[in-house]
Amino acid sequence: MDPYGFVMAIIAMSVVFSGLILLYLTFKYVSRLYTLDIKKRFKRRNPEKEITDADIEETSGEINAAIALALHMYKTQLHDMEDTVITIQKVAKAYSPWSSKIYGLRRTPK
Amino acid sequence: METSASFWSFLGNHINSFFQYTAIMNFTVGHVIMILIGLIFIYLAIKKEYEPLLLIPIGFGILIGNIPFWGAEHVLNGDPSNLQIGIYQSGSVMNYLYFGVRYGIYPPLIFLGIGAMTDFSALISNPKLILIGAAAQLGIFGAYAAAIALGFSPSEAGAIGIIGGADGPTAIFLSSKLAPELVGAIAISAYSYMALVPVIQPPIMRLLTTPQERLIRMKPPRVVSKLEKILFPIIGLLLTTFIVPAGLPLLGMLFFGNLLKESTVTKRLADTAKGPLIDIVTILIGVTVGASTQATTFLTTKSVGIFALGAFSFMVATFGGVMFVKVINLFLKEGNKINPLIGNAGVSAVPDSARVSQIVGLEYDKTNHLLMHAMGPNVAGVIGSAVAAGVLLSFLY
**What pLDDT is attached to residue A47?**
56
**What pLDDT is attached to residue B362?**
92
Per-residue pLDDT band for B165 (boundaries 50, 70, 90) equals: confident
**What pLDDT is attached to residue A68?**
87
Task: With beta carbons under 8 A apart, name residues in chain B contacting A6.
Answer: 145
Structural contact between residues B187 and B225, judged by C-beta atoms closer than 8 angstroms = no
**What pLDDT is attached to residue B336?**
85
Per-residue pLDDT band for B258 (boundaries 50, 70, 90) equals: very high
Q: Is B383 on the interface with A (CB under 8 A)?
A: yes
Using a cut of 0.90, tell me whether the model's pTM lies above it. no
Domain locations in chain A as residue ranges: 1-45
Cβ within 8 Å, pair A19-B395: no
ipTM of the complex: 0.81
- At B316-366, the pLDDT tens digits run 999 999 999 999 999 988 888 999 999 999 988 888 899 999 999 999 988
The predicted model gives B271-285 an average pLDDT of 95
The predicted model gives A77-84 an average pLDDT of 60
Rounded to the nearest integer, the mean pLDDT of chain B is: 90
Cβ within 8 Å, pair B235-A27: yes
Task: With beta carbons under 8 A apart, name residues in chain A contacting B160.
Answer: none
- At B214-241, the pLDDT tens digits run 999 988 888 888 888 999 999 999 999 9
The predicted model gives A70-83 an average pLDDT of 71
Q: Is A29 on the interface with B (CB under 8 A)?
A: no
**What pLDDT is attached to residue A59?**
66
Rounded to the nearest integer, the mean pLDDT of chain A is: 73
Q: Mean pLDDT check: name the lowest of A94-108, B30-44, B62-76, B203-217.
A: A94-108
Cβ within 8 Å, pair B128-A24: yes
Q: Residues of chain B with pLDDT > 70: what percent?
A: 99
**What pLDDT is attached to residue B155?**
92
Task: With beta carbons under 8 A apart, name residues in chain B contacting A24.
Answer: 127-128, 130-131
| B81 has pLDDT over 90 | no
